[in-house]
Amino acid sequence: MNSGKGLSRNRSSSEKRRNHNRVPLGTMDTANLERVKAERAICGTLYMVATPVGNLADMTYRAVQVLQNADLIVAESAEHSRRLCAHYNIRTRLLSYNQHNHKAKAPKILEQLRAGRQVALITCAGTPGISDPGTLLVSQAFEQGIQVLPIPGAAAVTAALSAAGLRSDCFYFGGFLSPRPGKRRKELLSLAAMPWTLVFYEAPQRLPALLADLLTTLGDRLGVIWREMTKMHEEALRGPVSVLREQIRDREIKGEITLVIAGAADELAQQCLPDDELIDRIRKMLEKEGKGVKEIATHLALEEGRAYRQIYKLALALKEKMKP
């Protein structure tokens, strides 16, 4: 493929300088403003490049052009990304950057950017910076006045949502919930009253436990399990959470999972609003039973199907008012 205009090694230094100076510098203190302006004139650009979530044919032309012309590709897994690079004849040097080594690798990457190198960040699948440490690198780049540009493409969260048949005008993306059962249930309870569609990523071996917790905390809502999206063995299961549990009960689940769950019905959202009876119960548990705020929130959320976070905040406020 021909090189894209967005990232060409043949651009003159004056053109690079003009392109960088067009970018708003944002809010920063006066002492750093002139320094940042000077550095940006020679700094490279960090490109956030989306790659396919499974099917290599989903790669965009612009993404290929950027990766081919970059000075360095920073990949969540260099070994995994070599297949993508080989498929599109991308010969750019790869450097691994992930949750295990990001603290050690970030300074080296930022040094390359400050020296004028063009750096592309990719994840194993989909859009970088979503549920991965790419967010930290972007934040550090902005802090140092380095330009960051998105190269849009595939993302599992939006792909799954678009084909779920559930409300999509407003949704909540929870990424990966905690692998610890107790903490995971608390996280779900805090979402109980949310009327928006919920989207999660999950490891296949934890899917049965997550569905069980969803049924306990949020009720038997409509949901969609997307497995191995866009790949050869792609599969979608749709139905109430109780039905989804039965469908996978005796199966060995493999592959990447994206789960889409319907938001709370209007009547449930109304039930989660504080009322006099709830306030009296919390006050009694604080005064007469001597229970802590976390214990009260957990107990009432499980017993009454209310939002954990809402009860926690209410109990904390009542406790503060009761202080002499």
Is pLDDT larger for residue 293 or for residue 51?
51
> Counting Cβ atoms within 10 Å, is residue 146 exposed (0-12), middle (13-18) or buried (19+)?
buried
Q: Using the structure block, give the residue that is written with the tokens 């209310």.
A: 306
The Cα 223–Cα 239 span in angstroms is 6
pLDDT value, residue 163: 95
Task: Please state the separation of Cα 141 from the chain's center in Å.
Answer: 19
**What pLDDT, in 10s, does the model give residues 209-251?**
999 999 999 988 999 999 999 999 999 999 999 999 999 998 9
Specify the pTM: 0.70
Q: What are phi and psi of 63, to 5 degrees?
A: -60, -40
Classify residue 316 as left (phi > 0), alpha (psi -120 to 50) or beta: alpha
CA atoms within 13 A on the CB side of 37: 7
| Tokens matching residue 122 | 């990719």
**What pLDDT, in 10s, does the model give residues 171-187?**
999 999 999 999 999 99
> Counting Cβ atoms within 10 Å, is residue 125 exposed (0-12), middle (13-18) or buried (19+)?
buried
The Cα 226–Cα 244 span in angstroms is 11
> Counting Cβ atoms within 10 Å, is residue 180 exposed (0-12), middle (13-18) or buried (19+)?
exposed
**What pLDDT, in 10s, does the model give residues 259-303?**
999 998 744 554 555 567 788 888 888 888 888 888 888 888 777
Classify residue 296 as left (phi > 0), alpha (psi -120 to 50) or beta: alpha
Q: Which residues contact 108 (CB under 8 A, 6 or more apart)?
A: 95
Q: What is the three-state SS of 135-199?
A: HHHHHHHHHCCCEEEEECCCCHHHHHHHCCCCCCCCEEEEEECCCCHHHHHHHHHCCCCCCCEEE
The DSSP string of 101-117 is THHHHHHHHHHHHHTT-
3-state SS class at 119: strand
Segment of 153-157, 303-307, 320-324 carrying the highest mean pLDDT = 153-157
